[in-house]
Amino acid sequence: MRALRKLTVTEFKLFVRAPESVFFVPGLPLLLVVVFGVILNPAGTPEAMRSSLLNYFPAMVLVLTLAIMSILIMPSTLAGYREKGILRRLATTPTKPAMVLVAQLIVSGGMALATLLLVTLTGNLTFGWTMPKNVTGVVVAFVLGVLALLALGLFVASIARTGNAATGIGLFVFFPSLFLSGVAMPTEAMPPGIARISEYTPLGATMQGLRDAWSGDFPAASHLITLAVLTVAFGMIAVKLFRWE
C-alpha cells in the first residue's frame, strides 16, 4: 500500500505538471461553465429554454472532460511508459507494473470527482445553475460512466504500441463518439435512429444518465446496465491484450 500511495502521488504530480492535462482538467470544464453561464444569463434566456439547457450543459461539460481524460490523456501516458521501457524496468523492482495502472485509475478517478464538484459548484454559485435534483442518480451514473470510460481508455492503451499511436487511436474513437453520444448536440436534435444508438455508447449512456438525474429522475436501467456491461467488456479485453513491453 505504501508503494502504491507513493506511485499515485508521483502520477498525480506528473499529471498536473503536463500543460495539456491542466488545460483540459480543470481548465476546460471551468472555461465551458463560464461560457455557458454567460449564454444562459437568466435575464436574457426564456425560462423554459434555460431549464432544458441546464439539464444538458452540466452533463455535457462533465462527459466531454471525462472523455478527453480517459480516451486521450490516459492511453497516451500508459503507451508512452511502455514505449520508453518504464513498465519493463518496473517489472524488475518491488513496484510491479500493474501498480502503474492502478495509480493511473486512482488519479483519473480523483480528477473526475474534482471535475464533478467544480462544474456543479461553480455553475451554482456563480451563475445560479440548479443543483442536481437527484443526487443519488448523479452519483450512480457518474461512477458507472467513469468506470466505463476508463475501461475504454485502457483498451485503447492495450492496442497502441506507442504514445503517438495511442493519441491517434484515441482521436479516432473520440470525435465520432462526441457526435454519436449527444455530447456535441442534444439527442433531441439528432435523428431518432442515431439518438437511439447513442444510448448504448459509453459517452451516450453516461450523458443521458446524468441528464436524467440532473432533472430529478433516476437514470434508466438500460443506461446503467449498458455502462456496467461496457466496463466489464472493455476491461476484460484490455487485461487480455495489455502488454508491459
| Cβ–Cβ < 8 Å for 103, 7 | yes
The pLDDT, as a whole number, for residue 44 is 57
Give the DSSP letter of residue 73. Answer: I
Give the DSSP letter of residue 91. Answer: T
Please give the average per-residue pLDDT across 151-171, as a whole number.
91
Please give the average per-residue pLDDT across 12-22, as a whole number.
81
Terminal-to-terminal C-alpha distance of the chain: 24
Tell me the pTM: 0.88
pLDDT category, 32, cuts 50, 70, 90?
confident
Give the DSSP letter of residue 133. Answer: S
The pLDDT, as a whole number, for residue 55 is 78
Percentage of residues in the chain with pLDDT exceeding 70? 92
Higher pLDDT, 243 or 211: 211
pLDDT category, 109, cuts 50, 70, 90?
confident
Output the CA–CA distances (angstroms, integers) from residue 45 to 50, 78, 128, in the order listed: 6, 44, 13
The full 3-state SS of 159-216, as one line of letters, equals HCCCHHHHHHHHHHHHHHHHHHCCCCCCHHHCCHHHHHHHCCCHHHHHHHHHHHHHHC
pLDDT category, 97, cuts 50, 70, 90?
low
Judge whether residue 161 has pLDDT over 90: no
The pLDDT, as a whole number, for residue 230 is 95
- Residues 177-212 as b/e (b if ≥16 CB within 10 A, e otherwise) read bbebbbbeebbeebeeeebeebbbbbbbbbbbbbbb
pLDDT category, 193, cuts 50, 70, 90?
confident
